[in-house]
Structure 1
Amino acid sequence: MDCPKLYHSANSRSFRALWALEEVGIAYELEMMAFPPRSSCPSYLEINPLGTVPLLVDGDLRMTESAAICHYLGAKFAPDRLVPNASDPNFGAYLNYLHFGEATLTFPQAIVLRYGQFEPEDRRSAQVVADYSRWFLARARGIESFLSDGDFAAGSSFSMADISVGYAVMLSQFTGLFEDLPETVRQYWLRLQARPAYERAMAAQR
């Protein structure tokens, strides 16, 4: 059986999928791509019409949503270890924070990056950057909320939800917002960075 293949750009959202692959501990193939791949490699559109990363190919399956890929890999290759069973009391919190990391914490930072760094000078907007920076920092209180109950997003154990949230914290280092996060959140990020799978994922993309 062929192993899963991940199309990935360094430090992009696809890092979630790369980290998840290392956490489940399976063999995989990694295709590194310059960012944004739809511009740097037009032929990529033939296999992923969205032109985005991640793209996970597992047999006939194609997945492009980073949080969904984390859930899929955990449920398929590490059930009950990285994805709580539906009967687990922490299952609801797990799902909530799995999606919170992308929809609530990563989205505003994508806007900050676009209008602060990626757009041509004449299209950049200090007001947009300021507004969405405040949005992110206000929503980051949700991390403080779950840390008041334990060390991780879904209770006392690390799960794929921590990869989703953790990547959003990682991204804040590129948006310049990391130092504005509370100390408890920065300590949480240090715990995540200490995981061997995180270190392997960082090494794999270099």
Structure 2
Amino acid sequence: MIELWHCPDARSFRPLWALEELGLEYRLHLLPFPPRVREPAYLEVNPLGTIPAMRDGETFMTESAAIVQYLATRYGPSDLAVAVDEADYGAWLNWLHFGEATLTFPQTLVLRYRRFEPGKAEVVADDYAKWFLSRLRQVDRALADGREWLCAGRFTGADISVGYALLLARTLKLDADFSPAIAAYWERLRERPGFKAAKKAQKIELDEALSS
């Protein structure tokens, strides 16, 4: 069975969401954030101490967007993946990794200096918040023609990757600066059955952990 190590609403939400969209069975290990500090035993699973970690048989992975790509293709055919012979294959790959490399990275510095180390580098946090919002305009441009999803005319793993970046932005209260198109896109994403199921799964696991 697939195993996923996860912190609520962390990057590991991407593969959790993908697992729910694909209807796959999995075992969820919920950890406190940051796990390398608050759950030292986790280093035996993932020496990097980062989230996510996923094990599927002999396969072990730690990159959230790559795990989404793996699940969508390994357990396909699935609408979450875009095939190499589809016109939007390149766009799918680009958006899939844009969500992490371009949109999530600057937010991690906002998270660090506004939530975990407030007062230490407020200018850095403000600058990277602006950086994130400037990069988000690329998503706005893609949605400007009225499309519902980023590529291939359907919901794909690319939307999961970018969608998590929007979830993090909401956590950091950056969503007040969403354009109307991105705000509407976010509402479509959060209404996905897979998104709701992933939220429910992490809540159930958290409730059980707190009651034990």
Interval of TM-score (by shorter of Structure 1 and Structure 2):
over 0.9
Cα separation, 1, equivalents of 2:58 and 2:69: 18
1:29-66: CA deviations, max 9, x gaps? 00111111111111111110001111000001110000
Cα RMSD after superposing both structures: 1.1
Q: Tell me which stretches of 4 or more aligned residues in structure 1 moved more than 4 Å.
A: none
SS at match of 2:55: strand
Tell me how far 1:80 sits from its aligned partner. Answer: 4.5
2:194: which partner in 1? 197
How high is the TM-score relative to the length of structure 2?
0.92
Query: Identity of counterpart residues, as a percentage?
Result: 47
Equivalent position of 2:171 in the other structure = 174
- Distance of 2:144 and 2:35 partners within structure 1: 39
Q: Paired residue for 1:96?
A: 94
Matching residue within 31, 39, 64 for 1:33: 31
- Indicate yes or no: 2:130 matched with 1:134: yes
Q: Which residue of 1 aligns with 2:140?
A: 144
Looking at structure 2, the residues matched to 79 and 148 of structure 1 have their Cα atoms a distance apart, in angstroms, of: 29
For the residue of structure 1 that corresponds to 2:155, the secondary structure is: coil
In 2, Cα distance between equivalents of 1:40 and 1:138: 34
Question: Could you tell me how far apart the structure 1 residues matched to 2:92 and 2:56 are?
Answer: 24
- TM-score using structure 1 length: 0.95
Once the 2 structures are TM-superposed, how far is the Cα of residue 153 of structure 1 from its aligned partner? 1.3
Q: Which amino acid aligns with 1:179?
A: A
Q: 1:37-186 residue pairs with structure 2 within 5 A?
A: 37-119=35-117, 121=118, 124-149=120-145, 150-186=147-183
Residues matched between the structures, number = 202
Per-residue deviation at 1:78? 2.7
- The alpha carbon displacement at 1:79 in A equals 2.3
Unaligned runs of 5+ in 2: 204-212
Which of 5, 20, 23 pairs up with 1:22?
20
Counterpart AA for 2:125? V
For 2:38 and 2:59, locate their aligned partners in 1 and report how far apart those are by CA, in whole Å.
24
Give the whole-Å Cα distance in 2 for the aligned partners of 1:147 and 1:198.
Answer: 20
Q: In the alignment, what sits opposite 2:207?
A: none
Q: Is the 8 A contact 2:144 2:181 kept in 1?
A: no
Q: Distance in 2 between matches of 1:133 and 1:34?
A: 25
